[in-house]
Amino acid sequence: MLLSTGLLLLALFLQGSNEVPQTAAGSETLATTGDYNYTKYHPMHEITSWMEMVVKENPDVVSVEVYGKTYEKRNITALKIGLKSSGEKKVIWMDCGIHAREWIAPAFCQWFVKEILTNYKNDERLRTILSNVDFYVTPVLNVDGYMYSWINSSTRLWRKSRSVPPSGCDCYGTDLNRNFNANWGMIGVSRNCCEQIYCGSKALSESEASAVTSLVESLKARMLCFFTIHSHGQLILVPYGYPEIVAPNYGELMQVAQEASKAIKSVHGMEYTVGAPPAVLYPNSGSSRDWARLIGIPFSFTFELRDKGQFGFLLPEDQIQPTCEEVYAGVRSIIDYVYDRKSPAQGGSVAVATAAVWTTLLASCVSAAALL
């Protein structure tokens, strides 16, 4: 069934392309979101069609927020989900697909949106949250890289963006999760543009990282929580990636993440390890998670989804549903907590002032550490 002219124009707008969306063999033609298969991986043009259908079917709850362009001039798009309210609303952020090869991450963002929209009418708790909180969900942040990872088997494990290399180097792309202004370039990065963890020529050199920064900065006084979804490893990571420096509310972050891990385990028995990256993964800098906490967003988490290495980034499609079911339970656990916890101190001037003090202290510690 062909999209109507109006829907096709919206699809093109969301995709940010001057060309008609691809129609590869075997791709889905979407009449309603009820036709969408949430248990398979989808190329970008199918995700784009799904996004515009979500907006069409839920105009009172969902709107589109195009908040930037990728290096290749495609739109970076969030779905803003929330019930209309006369008062100022809080915000919860979620992005998926910052690393192109982590296909389970965009699959989860789509699952999350489906669950919210399917259940809010009959779930009084969720409806109350949507009356007071707007969710900003970016199903695919690294659109260029994600599309590149779909070309063929030789590109399937592409991680980075698709920006052109600096002078003297032949390798494309930057690791977007090393490009944020959070101790940029200090540890767990490479200055070699051919490496997977190349951090870019400077903080926010990449348009994708810059776009997230601009939008989140504009919302930070109202933002309760920042989620960034990755794979793999079955981890819930809290700030900070820089060793021997902890967030001022580290104990609470760990407590909340541990409760989320318990919620995840209750679904299919899967264990998710909780901790700061130096303790449970590896030290790193320039991540969006750390940056979000540094600017005053009180709760910031990285979820690393299934598995623990058996399939890695090539997680089979038959694991999409159980992965999404368990992680949704973990994310809901955190959402419920931060919603109940919300107070003036969680956002606005108090949080920003606290963040400013902590950022100054952190910068001093990092500078001192760099001299050792």
**Known catalytic residues?**
304
Residue showing tokens 């997230």: 212
Q: Which residues pair with 68 in a beta bridge?
A: 76
d(CA 306, CA 8): 35
Is 69 in a helix, a strand, or coil? strand
d(CA 21, CA 324): 27
Q: What is the DSSP string of 41-53?
A: ---HHHHHHHHHH
Is 184 in a helix, a strand, or coil? coil
- Alpha carbon dihedral 116, 208, 330, 136, in 10-degree steps, equals -30
d(CA 152, CA 167): 28
- Alpha carbon dihedral 43, 46, 50, 56, in 10-degree steps, equals 150
Q: Check: CB of residue 63 under 8 Å from CB of residue 55.
A: yes
Is 81 in a helix, a strand, or coil? strand
What's the alpha-carbon Rg for the chain, to the nearest Å?
Answer: 20
d(CA 221, CA 346): 8
With a CB cutoff of 8 Å and minimum separation 6, the contacts of 357 are: none
